[in-house]
Amino acid sequence: MVTYGERMTPDDETQEAVFRALADSSRRRLLDLLHARGGQSLTELEEEFAMTRFGVMKHLRVLSDAGLVVTRKQGRKTLHFLNPVPIRLVHDRWIDKYTEPQVATLAGLVPLLEGASPEEG
């Protein structure tokens, strides 16, 4: 296990939970199902899996603890919705940071290369 020193901020903890939640193909499939259609009940989601109702419930709880799934009661049913915000925050923190400077560097090369070409025309 990697440790990050004395204490993690709430945001660090949330992102840790998001990465853990995403590191499972059944949970990623649940997110895809909720992205395709929000507001599904456990019974509806369960039909898409070979595993037990309890297994699906456990995966939903992990997603919910990570903030990736939000639930709402409607009568006796609990409806599940995908919350895309934590993925956006992971994207802002972990994807943008590593992709943008490289894109900028490559983009910066274009005028340099174009200007340096003596044989143009």
Partner 1 sequence: MSTTDHDLATEQVYQIVIRTTPERLWEAITSPAFTTQYFHGARIDVTPERYTSRGPDGQSWGDDAVYEFDPPHRLVHGWRSLYDPDLADEPESRVTWQIEPRDGGLCLLTVTHDRLEGSPRTARGVSGEGWTTVLSGLKTLLETGSPMLPADG
| Interface with partner 1 (CB under 8 A) | 10-11, 14, 35-39, 67, 70, 72, 81-85, 88-89, 92, 100-101, 104
* Smallest distance, partner 1 to C-beta of residue 75, A: 15
Q: H-helix or E-strand containing 20?
A: helix 10-22
Which residue, 55 or 63, is less far from partner 1 as judged by CB? 63
Other Cβ atoms closer than 10 A to 114: 9
Which residue, 52 or 96, is less far from partner 1 as judged by CB? 96
- Phi, psi angle pair for 74, to nearest 5°: -135, 100
- Helices H / strands E in the chain, number of each: 6, 2
Which residue, 56 or 68, is less far from partner 1 as judged by CB? 68
